[in-house]
Homo-oligomer: A and B are copies of this chain.
Amino acid sequence: MTKEEKDTEELIFDAACRVFQRKGYDGARMQEIADEADINKSMLHYYYRSKDKLFQKVYQREMSRFFPVIFGVLDSDMPIDEKVEQLIETYYTFLDKNPKIVQFLFHEMNKNPERLKEFIDKQGIHPPKKLMRQLNEEAQEGKMDKVKPKQFLTSIVGLILFPFYSQAMIRGIFDLNEDEFAEYLKERKDFLLNFILNGINYKRQ
């Protein structure tokens, strides 16, 4: 086996990631995953026991890819404006390659909050305290308005994620083809940075 070829287990997993992201847990079919991996359906059960177990792994892996993207940047040592800029950049790079992940994860998180809670606890995910302290400090220094950290944080993330979550609607209403939507996404990066920093009256150095 050369390094290029993936072994069966990995082949299945990759196919499962794609199919679950396209269809969600309920819409996904074991046969479809098998077909996508070009492999016999029994293999799925040989390596992963059940649809549920397989899904669990996919869910876990996608969550593990998604969450650090936020927190890695937010709890670093940077002034707010750079954080926001970096967050936008990091997110868009990631989401460009994984446009379906937002729709997928939010659907599954809402469908099963207990599983989400379990993941959060196991991974030791916490609100970004550093950012929250920083928001208060920089407001005290007069560099920006005083804002509620939860509101600010959910606003940034919401602004970034919304186009991916609502892609069908945006494209439908504005009648955008694939290229035009990509153009919209591209120009959004600049727009967002300005909009967000203005939103809290941030005075850039």
Contacts and interface: CB of A to CB of B under 8 A. Distances in A.
Interface of A: 23-24, 26-27, 103, 106-107, 109-111, 113, 116-117, 120, 125-127, 145, 147-148, 150-151, 154-155, 157-159, 161-163, 165-174, 184, 187-188, 191-192, 194-196, 198-201
Nearest to A28: B26
What copy number does this chain have within its complex? Answer: 2
B109 A106 contact: no
A157 B162 contact: yes
Contacts of A120: 172-173
A170 B116 CA distance: 11
B151 A113 contact: no
A184 to B, nearest CB: 6
24 contacts: A106-B168, A106-B169, A107-B107, A109-B168, A110-B167, A110-B168, A113-B172, A116-B172, A125-B173, A126-B173, A127-B173, A145-B194, A150-B170, A151-B187, A151-B191, A155-B192, A155-B195, A157-B166, A158-B163, A158-B166, A161-B162, A194-B199, A196-B199, A198-B200
